[in-house]
Structure 1
Amino acid sequence: MLSLGKEPPLPADVLEEAAEWLMRLSETDLSASERAEWERWKVSSPERARAWARAQLLQSTLGGLPPSLAMSTLDRPSNPQRRAALGKLALLLAVMPVGWGSWKLTQSQQWTADHRTRVGERRELTLADGSRVTLNTDTAIDVLFDSQQRLLHLREGEILVQTAADTARPFLVSTREGRLQALGTRFTVRELNERTHLAVLEGAVKVVLAENDQRPPLIVNAGQRIDFSTQHWGALSPTDRNVGAWTQGMLMADNMRLADFVAELTRYRRGFVRYDPAIADLRISGAFPIADTQRTLNMLVQTYPVLASGHLNGYWVTLSPA
């Protein structure tokens, strides 16, 4: 669920209206009647006033629209590219003011990385030493191999690593929270809310915390998983048997709360999926395709007492009790 401070979330239709006005103002000069309509719209409800305040904040922060959203040549409202741009703009407005900063950081992290995937994309790489790395959705990594070491830096997202043998050079994965050394192994690493999640499928991984390197390293063995921050370990627990299901294009749910299911699904989908708190604890089980998130939502509605309503050309979906 998304919110701005302690304010209630703005309705999707209001965000779309604000995005439309912001786009129109950036594209062309309004006529006198259009400007009067815009002025009336801004003060017609508290929600619209809040939405326009966010639009002004976005404009002042950027000095205009992001280049990818500046669609001055697409002046037909029915143009699909323009509709997609409106959806993206509405999403930025939904999470202002913090949303733009995180969006810009994510874009910078992604586009300067050695290898990256877009939202909903998966990619498998074979590295120079024969090791294989699979990148999950919205992931960015750097690769640094030299005579001393083989190093992957995980900037964002999630990877599955299958290391190749090399007795002369250790295989390392670094994250913001620490450094992992593969001990002949297969494992997944995920950056998650200022924590690193490690799950070891084969072999073992040695972990050193980024800001507490005086503590002895922790060895995580096959069948174990752990979360850790820059200074603290979480508890070791058994590896989820479905931890690598995403490499096969599936999201596996086993008695999962709907709130947690939505959090996972939105990793693979552009836009927002919100839910009524009344169904947050509904338990979900099954195998769901991550390459077609709309199909997954349809399966959810067909199987469970849930309704789905779409807005912003599919960018915003709300789940409610049936």
Structure 2
Amino acid sequence: MPALSPKALEEAAEWLMRLSEGDLNDSERAEWEHWKLSSPERDRAWARAQLLQNKLGGLPPSLAMSALDRPASPERRAALGKLALLLAVMPVGWGSWKLAQNQQWTADYSTRVGERRELVLADGSRITLNTDTAIDVRFDSQQRLVHLREGEILVQTAHEATRPFLVSTRQGRMQALGTRFTVRELNARTHLAVLEGTVKVMLAENSQTAPLIVNAGQRTDFSAQTFGALGTADGNVDAWTRGMLMADKMRLADFVAELLRYRRGFVRCDPAIADLKISGAFPVSDSQRALGMLVQTYPVRVSGHLNGYWVTLSPA
């Protein structure tokens, strides 16, 4: 079945917002009924809207208040774009959105999409949080523990002889041995790159496997049961701490997936150019500028919909 167009999703989001604001009069209700029946695509888009409404019993709370703003207000337009994106990825979109919101609300420290944050912990260790990241910090007399709920961090540990410094994820636990390293959770695996020192890794659900020692200049990834292979760490793995996304013959589709971490909305890459190799340094703090750099350098055309929340990359 073909994907729904941004226009149909935006129209469905608009009607859903209008319905959430109060009862429609007879003329508006007739207009709404005509819109639903005017094309199979609009009917499918409204079915998505109904599914979302049934799951939530209304709009997500963070969008509901914006729906009450003036029709042409930037806040309402932004809420409309977010709602259309939720409709685009239903039925999994709401679950992911709800999980992300819960992580942000209950974590000790977190960052929003596009935000970076540096923390100095009680022992002098430094943690830098990348975009859309959440952590908990638990220091006691026995250990110093940072739990990565989601996202990516750069860790610079302070030396302390009596308490080990640990970073945990759902997949395992890493003990830092005088170390600077990055940790990222992605697709049910933890990705570790050691820049200085050594990290000992223990799996969460396989105590029979001996811990893996990862030295400076090495990287690995692991699930809760198994280790991946040791490899050479990318020298630019921490470029995000300087506000940059470094690409070295990276597939355009992979580049888009990375850039999307730093912006709200949806970016679609046409399969015809998905394997185009991209190289360069791109600013993650200004994703529109990064997309503009692509247009200037490569045979790529960028088109926007839904007030910039939906972007499509296609052959130029």
1:47 Cα deviation after fit: 1.7
Equivalent residue for 2:297, pick from 269, 287, 303: 303
1: CA distance, partners of 2:200 / 2:66: 53
- AA in 1 matched with 2:85: L
Question: CA 1:288/1:145 → structure 2, altered by over 3 Å: closer, same or farther?
Answer: same
Q: How does 1:283-294 map to 2 (within 5 A)?
A: 283-294=277-288
Q: Does 1:189 align with 2:183?
A: yes
- AA in 2 matched with 1:179: R
2: CA distance, partners of 1:64 / 1:78: 22
Structure 2 match to 1:74: 68
Equivalent residue for 1:211, pick from 201, 205, 208: 205
1: CA distance, partners of 2:183 / 2:262: 17
1: CA distance, partners of 2:190 / 2:206: 15
Question: CA 1:73/1:208 → structure 2, altered by over 3 Å: closer, same or farther?
Answer: closer
- AA in 1 matched with 2:76: R
Contact 1:253–1:261, Cα closer than 8 Å, also in 2: yes
Alpha-carbon RMSD across the aligned residues, in angstroms, is 1.0
Over residues 233-260 of structure 1, what are the superposed CA-to-partner deviations in whole Å (9 max), with x where a residue is unaligned?
A: 1111100111000000000000100000
1:266 Cα deviation after fit: 0.1
Structure 1 match to 2:219: 225
Structure 2 match to 1:123: 117
Relative to structure 2, which stretch is displaced further, 297-306 or 263-272? Answer: 297-306
Structure 1 match to 2:165: 171
Q: Does 1:274 align with 2:268?
A: yes
- AA in 2 matched with 1:279: I
2: CA distance, partners of 1:235 / 1:177: 16
1:80 Cα deviation after fit: 0.5
Contact 1:27–1:71, Cα closer than 8 Å, also in 2: no
Among the aligned pairs, what percent are the same residue? 81
Relative to structure 2, which stretch is displaced further, 49-58 or 71-80? Answer: 71-80
- AA in 2 matched with 1:40: H
Q: Which runs of 5+ in 2 are unaligned?
A: none
Q: Does 1:50 align with 2:44?
A: yes
2: CA distance, partners of 1:211 / 1:302: 48
1: CA distance, partners of 2:66 / 2:256: 35
Contact 1:203–1:222, Cα closer than 8 Å, also in 2: yes
Contact 2:198–2:213, Cα closer than 8 Å, also in 1: yes
Q: How does 1:27-42 map to 2 (within 5 A)?
A: 27-42=21-36
Question: CA 1:57/1:286 → structure 2, altered by over 3 Å: closer, same or farther?
Answer: same
Q: Does 1:62 align with 2:53?
A: no
1:8 Cα deviation after fit: 3.3
Give 3-state SS (helix, strand or coil) of 1:268's partner.
coil
Structure 2 match to 1:4: none
TM (norm. structure 1) is: 0.96
1:124 Cα deviation after fit: 0.2
Structure 2 match to 1:321: 315
Give 3-state SS (helix, strand or coil) of 1:200's partner.
strand
1:317 Cα deviation after fit: 0.2
Structure 2 match to 1:162: 156
TM (norm. structure 2) is: 0.98
Over residues 117-150 of structure 1, what are the superposed CA-to-partner deviations in whole Å (9 max), with x where a residue is unaligned?
A: 0000000000000000000000000000000000
1:72 Cα deviation after fit: 6.7
Q: Does 1:202 align with 2:191?
A: no
2: CA distance, partners of 1:110 / 1:69: 16
Structure 2 match to 1:312: 306
Contact 1:258–1:282, Cα closer than 8 Å, also in 2: yes
1:10 Cα deviation after fit: 1.4
Equivalent residue for 1:109, pick from 78, 83, 103: 103
1: CA distance, partners of 2:36 / 2:122: 57
Equivalent residue for 1:8, pick from 2, 7, 18: 2
Contact 1:26–1:72, Cα closer than 8 Å, also in 2: no
Contact 1:160–1:188, Cα closer than 8 Å, also in 2: yes
Aligned residues: 316
